Structure 1
Amino acid sequence: MEFRIFTEPQQGATYSDLLKVARATEDAGYDGFFRSDHYLRMGSADGLPGPTDAWTTLAGLAVQTSRVRLGTLMTAATFRLPGPLAITVAQVDQMSGGRVEFGIGSGWFEAEHTAYGIPYPALGDRFDMYTEQLEVITGLWTTPLKEKFSYTGKHYQVTDSPALPKPAQRPRPPVIIGGRGAKRTPALAARFADEFNVAFAEAPVASEQFERVDAACRAIGRDPAGMIRSIAQAVCVGWDDAQVARRAAAIGRDVGELKSNGLAGTPAEVVDRLGQWREQTGVSRIYLQVLDLHDLDHLELIAAEVAPQL
């Protein structure tokens, strides 16, 4: 099982904070460092000093790390036009030496749109935009050199694009799609995704969604075995119950709730829970949602005592 660190900087983090976590992630041997793409804090956090842009952050980390995979869970399709987004991600992939993974979703948090003047269409329109963005972005990346790309959709039109720059990874960076939609999401994943992610769900819910994605793959003649299954879970690990309780308190969470809805406990407890997840869902990759970005010892503990056993 591959372990990746997943951060939520909109809750309150500077670029310097994220760089420290990314470097600790790399030094500890994790496979990747990912971040959310949000412009407004959630819950009771004050969000200070304010949001950082996901792709600006990843561009900086691309040149200040050397090994870890870098990406988003998930870039919001509502935030950016597909052509400029394709250019940005390709450039960051070049800057990183080919370490970018592109997670993209339809966008869902209405308050952050109204807070920063971003249009927030109805759900059906957002999903149509999401689909068209994937068609445009992957089309631009995979168009052969010296050929042009054109596209006519309801929301986006592209005419005679030189389809440059190309990402370092060919034919394109891996695409990550996630969510719990029963029909359109699995169908979209079957067409475009290299990885499907289910975040903050119980194992039976995740397993059911993975099966829908597998069925959507088979429906278009794609082998489901080529799709990576991943989950994202909040994490809180300690050497003993007292340390687990302190770490849970630091992020404003209840230990019992984290044990039910996340990954919490001693290393042995978390290893056992992850083993159950793997058996029940077939996941091969986990994104550990780390909410206290100043507790780097937490990352080291998981890397030393949990990851090697899986």
Structure 2
Amino acid sequence: MNFGLHIGQQNITIDELRRLWRWADTAGFDWVDVWDHFYEAPPVDGNGSCFEATTCMAAMACDTSNVRIGVLVLGMGYRHPAVLANALCTIDHLSGGRLEIGLGAGWHEPEYRAYGIPFPPIKERLDMLEEGVQVIRLLTTQERSDFDGRFFRLANAACNPKPMQARPRIWVGGNGEKRTLRIAARHADGWNTPYTSPEEFARLSSVLDRWCETEGRDPATIERTVNLSFHMAAAPSDLPRVEAQYRQAWGPAAESMRARGVVTGLPGQAIDLVGRYRDAGAARVNIAIRPSVDWDALAAWTTEVIRAFAG
């Protein structure tokens, strides 16, 4: 069982952010990523601060030595995939070949509207995602690339230097059963789902298996991971404070989130929960944190929860 740290880089200083991923690099995690937002999430009023994702990846690449470097997930509508591919290749070199490419259709409509970025219906956003995945795969693996899609086109396009890795892994994130999981079956090396229960994770994973069969793909070639919102308390005395922070973070959605992918309670309960995801087929559990950072809880996660699954 592997463990990752998914950082919501909002309402935090750059020094604290760098402290987080430097700490994770030697604390038992094999993966660190950030999200791709410009406004706070869940949405509030757009007045919170949020550092940009690809530049955070570059900083992570330079600040760490061990963990895989990613974003779950880069919204395809925010950047042309050819421009994104060039940035990702640079990040792979900065990291010494530790890049992971996470891609999604995008959902945070207030960001799009505020910046004048088109926010088409979900079908078109998924069409853009599927084209963009192919464009990035071509540019990061082929010397010259041609592609003639509805949204993106390449004409004898080069992207040099190539990544240090011969074929960087591409992850598709999301829970859509009709399109997202089929896109993953067609094109991805990994699939990530945010905030789903162990039972729902297993069900969605079986849907992905069926799409793999339809596409002639071995389901075992797609790694499956889950993001869990992290609200664990290190000790019983911390429970009231952590519960208050959880309610503040999720607002009206706090109660409905409890039935989804959330780490609450004490380390023993977290160990039981991670075991259920392992049994459901998850190869990695990523804890998703939003500042303020509870360093005592993170220490308990590494010394008690990660250690319980060592080896």
The structural deviation recorded for 1:222 is 1.6
Identity, % of aligned positions: 31
The aligned counterpart of 2:135 is 136
- What's the secondary structure of 2:36's corresponding residue? coil
* TM-score between the two structures when normalised by the length of structure 1: 0.91
Structure-1 separation of matches of 2:16 and 2:85: 27
The structural deviation recorded for 1:169 is 1.1
CA contact (8 A) 1:58 1:71 kept: yes
CA contact (8 A) 2:26 2:66 kept: no
Residue 176 of structure 1: which of 156, 171, 178 is its match?
Answer: 171
The structural deviation recorded for 1:47 is 6.6
Show CA shifts across 1:193-232 (max 9, x none): 1111121112222212111111111222221112111111
Structure-1 separation of matches of 2:32 and 2:47: 22
CA contact (8 A) 1:140 1:163 kept: yes
The structural deviation recorded for 1:253 is 5.5
The aligned counterpart of 1:165 is 161
Letter in 1 for 2:72: L
Letter in 1 for 2:233: G
Alignment map for 1:1-310 (pairs within 5 Å): 1-10=1-10, 12-43=11-42, 50-143=49-142, 147-171=143-167, 173-251=168-246, 252=248, 260-261=259-260, 262-279=262-279, 281-310=280-309
Q: Which runs of 5+ in 2 are unaligned?
A: none
Letter in 1 for 2:29: Y
Q: Number of matched residues?
A: 304
CA contact (8 A) 1:228 1:284 kept: yes
The structural deviation recorded for 1:46 is 6.8
Structure-2 separation of matches of 1:210 and 1:20: 34
Structure-1 separation of matches of 2:132 and 2:255: 40
CA contact (8 A) 2:225 2:285 kept: yes
Show CA shifts across 1:33-66 (max 9, x none): 1111001113476776622110011111211111
Structure-1 separation of matches of 2:119 and 2:146: 26
CA contact (8 A) 2:9 2:51 kept: yes
CA contact (8 A) 1:235 1:263 kept: yes
Structure-2 separation of matches of 1:44 and 1:130: 23
CA contact (8 A) 1:21 1:293 kept: no
Letter in 1 for 2:197: E
* TM-score between the two structures when normalised by the length of structure 2: 0.91
CA contact (8 A) 1:259 1:265 kept: no
Structure-1 separation of matches of 2:90 and 2:42: 34
Q: Which runs of 5+ in 1 are unaligned?
A: none
Show CA shifts across 1:233-253 (max 9, x none): 112222433213322323425
Letter in 2 for 1:206: F
TM-align CA RMSD: 2.0
Show CA shifts across 1:112-154 (max 9, x none): 11122222122221111111111111011111xxx42111111
Structure-2 separation of matches of 1:206 and 1:220: 21
